[in-house]
């Protein structure tokens, strides 16, 4: 394959407390039209439990906050149900380029 691929779909299924940083890196490597997929973002419903101090849940909440504040993506989270219980994944469509770097002063 020559040139830049027409689309990119980075995924993250790593340590949940660092998912906000993984999302930021995926976004840096993406361009409009890319899709970023993050797995295990419902955490069996624990993200809705304000009393939990689980670092994986806190990282997942922070990820959702980062995605919600990011103007360059349109995103949703989809809950899944299966033999392992319920969880979900987030899908973020990159809709805009990275902001231009500020010129040197």
Q: What is the CATH number of the domain that holds 30?
A: 3.40.50.150
Q: Express each pLDDT in 12-51 by its tens digit.
A: 677 888 999 999 998 988 889 889 999 888 888 888 888 9
Domain assignment of residue 53, yes or no? yes
pLDDT in tens, 66-102: 999 999 999 999 999 888 788 889 999 999 887 756 6
> What was the pLDDT predicted at 102?
61
The torsion angles phi and psi of 90, rounded to 5 degrees, stand at -105, 145
Residue 62 lies in a domain: yes
Buried b (16+ CB within 10 A) or exposed e, 81-94: eeeeeebbbbbbeb
Q: How many structural domains does the chain have?
A: 1
pTM for the structure as a whole: 0.81
pLDDT value of residue 103: 63
Q: What is the reported pLDDT for 54? A: 92
């Amino acid at each position: 394959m020559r040139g830049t691929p027409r689309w990119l779909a980075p995924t993250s299924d790593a340590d949940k407390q660092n998912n906000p940083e993984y999302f930021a890196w995926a976004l840096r490597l993406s361009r409009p039209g890319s899709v970023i997929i993050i797995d295990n973002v419902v955490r069996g419903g624990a993200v809705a439990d304000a009393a939990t101090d689980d670092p994986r849940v806190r990282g997942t909440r922070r990820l959702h906050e980062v995605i919600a504040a990011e103007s360059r993506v349109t995103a949703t989270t989809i809950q899944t149900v299966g033999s392992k219980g319920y969880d979900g994944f987030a899908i973020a469509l990159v809709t805009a380029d990275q902001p231009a770097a500020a010129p040197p002063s």
